[in-house]
Chains A and B, each alone.
Chain A
């Protein structure tokens, strides 16, 4: 085989030669991969004809970067790491050594100083250095801040690891307040703080939390019961349309329609559950995929009810439990009641806490259910269906409850989505959404709530933050739009995570019962003996 020949050559080749050869191979592969992706671009000319725009310059830069990276990695980084490993083994520093070398107190102080100085002169950077260089400096400042934060996290890593859930919930609760306060300090006024917080609370906070909730809901079906569901977005759609239709037609309030939407979605979960009871694995995945598409096509084609592809607009906002409204024209508008300045941010912050509450409810129910007979039956079902049945567990009802429970949370999230957007159309419920939600569950580690929340934050927040990468325009030119590469990076990140942690961020399953807690699992939770 080629491996043997290569191995014998490697013995004689110096790292430099080896690196050059590897760089050449990498260049060929990169050229083949990116020739169509980057080298050619389709565009429209003035008379609306499709034309090919070659981008040889960009292609050269990308291929060159790949070659350079591969060369540096093989010629310098690999030998360095190999040497370092030997040194570390000798000094007994492994495995923390790389991280401890990277995070050192002098560096931390340096990063703090850099960040502080650059923040102080934030206003006059453009004036002193010109806009191009200032862009780089802002990027450098961001790196310094990230490094400082990472150092703090690294220093307190044991504490964070032990109290992750509590800290996470605390951070999530404090998040909008902190954002508003920081922005208020930066802009010098409370109103500015609220106005600036819109983006951070809405695009990041709410967006991520919707996906956290959806992924936690899907986790019940996929992670716990082991039923691969590729059509989860259908329940999201059912919830969204249930709220959209009933609220616009009947004028019912969100607080009544939230449970209604959940029940409707759960009902559809059972409807889907019945035909797929006998299916497992691939076959189940195909049927659920089809189910998701059926719901979407019904929404598009049943124009009399759903208004087709045009969707439903003018969906009423959520009220503050009926006490205060978020419509400026209403007499009980929140700013009038509380006597504060008008701002759209109040509604967003309220929605943030609403979805946070809903997501935490999902987590709470999941945690409780796992300790109850029905939750244990779900997990046992995932492990071995035949063994489950021969222990007297009714696998039919067990599967149906999993589908119904998962779907119910999808329905809750859907009605929230409709209320937040004020508009729903079938376009929001395409297969890609199901795929993203499932990807988050798999990346986070099936069954692990913490892992899934982290995966959602990384994936959704990560792609959102690419919209903020203005400085990249200085590198790649003003036509460069980082958002366009979101899905590419999403995919790349997924491949990397799956190589690095094949079972997701949190791959090991947390046991539900411990010796000293045995009595906590009492029989009083359910009457029916199927769990």
Chain B
């Protein structure tokens, strides 16, 4: 890889009280890549996502984004460096309309590019346009996921973090969302770092992947290699393709 590293996570350890959730994680995301992080429940995938955003903070190790050390930066300032996130559980604003949710996403630039960007989001997710005046909480799960990703995109991110975008969604919707991610990466060169339980779909989509077990990265490689790896197959892929 000749591309320059956008997000560099080195030796990160995160604790919940006294419980160590991450014990020295090294992950690198290069510009223009889709990187997938897979692992079982409780492996620490979502914790890593949240640690990048500083809630909770890494107790040891460093996180660098585009050359800036963001390990101890306040969350909102990390976001202002153009890292956007569709967090675990989507976390859309349930009593606000789809439009207001998208406006919140665009608040970094005070809605300067709102009109332009909202069209892009609607091309990507036409369903959101139909639901524009509806309250976020009344959307279906898939639509909420689309809104969560759309809201993140409104911030014009350099790096998009996605935490389990396929969680609880029908296969058809999952396909739509994965297609959208691929589309964003291909046409706009958006760098994506995604955490998934759906290992097959994620690794197929990803340029590179990491496997996480009990708070450490145990394996890494290109998406294709990991898919072919017998250990990965045994642990995450047997029992049917999602």
Chain A contact residues, CB within 8 Å of chain B: 373, 376-377, 379-380, 383-384, 386-395, 509, 511-515, 518-519, 521-523, 526, 529-531
Contact = CB atoms under 8 A, between A and B. Distances in A.
Given A383-B94, A391-B155, A514 B79 contact: no
A381 to B, nearest CB: 9
Given A386-B91, A389-B75, A391-B155, A529 B107 contact: yes
A394 B76 contact: yes
A518 B114 contact: yes
Given A377-B107, A379-B93, 18 more contacts: A376-B104, A379-B100, A380-B93, A383-B95, A386-B55, A387-B87, A390-B53, A390-B84, A391-B155, A394-B76, A509-B95, A511-B100, A513-B103, A518-B114, A523-B110, A529-B80, A529-B110, A530-B76
Interface string B57-77: 000000000000000001111
Contacts of A530: 76
Contacts of A390: 53, 75-76, 79, 84-85, 87
Contacts of B115: 518-519
A521 B103 contact: yes
A522 B111 contact: yes
Contact of A391 (B55, B107, B133): B107
29 contacts: A373-B107, A373-B111, A376-B100, A376-B103, A377-B107, A383-B95, A386-B91, A389-B55, A389-B76, A390-B75, A390-B76, A390-B79, A391-B79, A391-B84, A391-B108, A391-B151, A392-B76, A393-B107, A394-B74, A394-B76, A511-B96, A513-B97, A513-B100, A513-B103, A515-B99, A518-B99, A523-B109, A523-B112, A529-B107
B82 to A, nearest CB: 9
Interface string B145-170: 00000010001000000000000000
B105 interface: yes
A386 B79 CA distance: 12
Query: Max chain B CB contacts within 10 Å: which of A387, A390, A512, A514?
Result: A390
Name B's interface SS.
mixed
Contacts of A380: 93, 96, 104
Nearest to A515: B132
Nearest to A392: B79
Query: Max chain B CB contacts within 10 Å: which of A387, A391, A511?
Result: A391
B87 to A, nearest CB: 6
Contacts of A511: 96-97, 99-100, 133
Smallest CB-CB A-B distances: 10 pairs: A392-B79, A523-B110, A387-B91, A383-B93, A389-B75, A392-B108, A511-B97, A392-B80, A394-B76, A390-B85
